Structure 1
Amino acid sequence: MTTGLLLTLAALSIVDSTSFGTLGIPVYLLLVLERSQVSRLLIYLGTVAVFYFLVGVALMLGLSTVLENFGDALYSRTAYWVQFVLGVGLFALSFYFDPKRRKKLGKPERRFEPRLDGPRAMVLLGSTAGLLEVATMVPYLAAIGVMTTSDLPAGQWVPLLAAYVLIMIMPSLVLLALRGVARDWLEPKLERLRVWMTKHSAAAVSWALAIVGVLLVRDAAFYLFFR
């Protein structure tokens, strides 16, 4: 385990901490939940952290097993064609969320406003946010790839993964603490941040899908057409 690896993972986790699921929804919850309901935000953040940790463990174990047993098949022309088609599909799907395109077609812009209820709803909300974002969270997937290719033993990558997801939710925990001691000062700023993130949430999803699609297509096209 090198310092460069640790810095890379820290940088990727900080980027992930600004996503709609790890910051946008918590900011919204901070604004609408009363002090007596703060535990709901903690339940939500805990659900997100556990979800990503378990997904990370599954990917770490699954990727190493797949690479060991099916490495040749994954680098075949058939596999690269599947990757190419998947990339094109993700890129095409990005236009479905693009606010500018929806406006041209006369369709309403998609907004992501979470519904609130009891603790069970917070668990469902956290799980749903994770499911919707995990495939498009390029930094998280990149971090998994970095740890996989670094051949780290489980005794190293498990705590690294735990630290990664903790950093992901840390900004929201800090905002929660600040809200407890400086609510009147913080809430107007949170409201502006909530409005901005809600307004741009669809665009963020669109860009994330497009970026992942382009990366998949570029990698597959290099193998299929330029080798």
Structure 2
Amino acid sequence: MDGASTLLALGPALVALALVDSLSVGTLAVPVWLLLAPGRPRPGRILTYLAALALFYVGVGLVLLAGADALVATLDVDWQSPPAMRVLFLAGAALLGASFVVHPPGGSTRPGGGNPRLRRWRAAAAGADDTGRASRPRALVGLALAVGLVEVGTMLPYLAAIGLLTGTDRPFAVKALVLAGYCVVMVLPAVVLVVARRVAAPLLDPLLRRLDRWFAAHGGEALGWILGIVGVVLMGRNLPAVMELFGGV
């Protein structure tokens, strides 16, 4: 399979991972809080926040991608080979198993509102500092960078996507372009909410409030299901190599 075919084959997995990333606190909860802030929301400022967040992840991703490419070149590992794919399948199975340990089904959840960091982000998103003054665009860019720095280590779908891109033999510029597209998909649902809120606020506001309540209750407990989804994607992507192993027995 050549590099272009490999990227096309990775397309569904990358889109699925990006959509999971679009449900994080930074990519969805903060925009929802901005939309629910007192007064009339300013779409331009919310889009400024989302653009800053996407650019942050593109920049970090390029650094990680360059480092991963250098490491793969040093180790001379073919991640498209059946043995490597079987290892990745086992890694996915391990992540799926870990998801039940981190957050077992039916386990209790702690309200995310009790998390001081989430409270600070929510206050900043509401557009008020200690003096009650409205946040300026520069403050929203700072909020995007702060959220990105804290969340980047827990954005497992994002890290998995970089790993999948590393396994292709396309030029770095092509992989960088795909990474940029991935980051656009990450913030796209929030952009859709901004546009929809502008067009039909009375219809959308109940949904935004439900999302707000969900993040307040579960914002700090998402790691379990994120681990599970990444595990399922890795297993599905590398399942053919495992089936080939059993088929040859």
Q: TM-score, normalised by structure 2?
A: 0.66
More moved, 1-10 vs 174-183: 1-10
Match of 1:84 in 2: none
Corresponding residue SS for 1:32: coil
Q: Which structure's residues are more often helix, by fraction? A: 1
Which residue identity does 2:151 align to in structure 1?
Answer: E
Deviations 1:156-205 (Å, cap 9, x if unpaired)? 21221111000000001101111111011111210111111122111125
Corresponding residue SS for 2:219: helix
Q: Does the CA-based 8 Å contact 2:156-2:227 persist in structure 1?
A: no
Deviations 1:47-92 (Å, cap 9, x if unpaired)? 11000000111011111123434789xxxxxxxxxxxxxxxxxx9x
Q: Does the CA-based 8 Å contact 1:52-1:165 persist in structure 2?
A: yes
- Is 1:174 the counterpart of 2:179 in the alignment? no
- Distance in 1 of aligned mates of 2:38 and 2:194: 11
State the Cα RMSD in Å: 3.1
Q: Pick closer, same or farther for the CA change 1:109–1:208 going to 2, 3 Å.
A: farther
Match of 1:49 in 2: 54
Match of 2:24 in 1: 19
Q: TM-score, normalised by structure 1?
A: 0.71
- Report percent identity of matched pairs: 39
- Distance in 2 of aligned mates of 1:21 and 1:101: 20
Q: Does the CA-based 8 Å contact 2:109-2:217 persist in structure 1?
A: no
- Distance in 2 of aligned mates of 1:159 and 1:133: 22
- Is 1:30 the counterpart of 2:20 in the alignment? no
- Distance in 2 of aligned mates of 1:11 and 1:193: 20
Match of 2:88 in 1: none
Which residue identity does 1:173 align to in structure 2?
Answer: V
Which residue identity does 2:67 align to in structure 1?
Answer: G
- Distance in 1 of aligned mates of 2:38 and 2:176: 33
Match of 1:200 in 2: 218
Q: Pick closer, same or farther for the CA change 1:156–1:172 going to 2, 3 Å.
A: same
Q: Does the CA-based 8 Å contact 1:136-1:209 persist in structure 2?
A: no
Match of 1:129 in 2: 147
Q: Does the CA-based 8 Å contact 1:24-1:198 persist in structure 2?
A: no
Match of 2:206 in 1: 188
